[in-house]
């Protein structure tokens, strides 16, 4: 049986692949770098937050039709890290313009 201490030790043994920043458009790479340099936000969390925001904005505007079945894009995101690794700030910063837009346009 693995207790909570054992889980932490097992997770430390695991290594995740690095985020493929070069797959992002150059403008997105620049934004990620600026957030990192100016606000010390983790690049990985900022990039994933940006992808989440784009998926949220796409909503049901785009779909794929296969064999008379319409499929809408979905992106589920989980920012995983130790406490204090600044997971919340990138998501809050990236989503704040969307929240302001919603407040102004959907009352």
pLDDT score recorded for residue 3: 60
pLDDT score recorded for residue 96: 95
* The model's pTM: 0.77
pLDDT score recorded for residue 12: 66
pLDDT score recorded for residue 1: 53
Could you tell me how far CA 75 lies from the centroid of its own chain?
9
pLDDT score recorded for residue 4: 58
Spans in the chain with pLDDT lower than 50: none
pLDDT score recorded for residue 37: 95
Distances (CA, A) of 28 to 48, 66, 72, 80, 99: 11, 31, 24, 21, 20
């Amino acid at each position: 049986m693995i207790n909570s201490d054992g889980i932490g030790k097992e997770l430390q043994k695991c290594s995740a692949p690095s985020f493929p920043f070069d797959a992002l458009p150059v403008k997105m790479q620049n934004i990620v770098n600026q957030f990192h340099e100016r606000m010390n936000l983790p690049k990985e969390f900022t990039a994933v937050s940006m992808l989440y925001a784009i998926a949220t904005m796409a909503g049901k505007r785009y779909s794929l039709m296969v064999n008379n079945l319409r499929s809408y894009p979905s992106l589920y995101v989980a920012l995983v890290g130790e406490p204090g690794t600044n997971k919340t700030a990138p998501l809050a910063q990236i989503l704040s313009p969307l929240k302001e837009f919603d407040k102004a346009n959907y009352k």
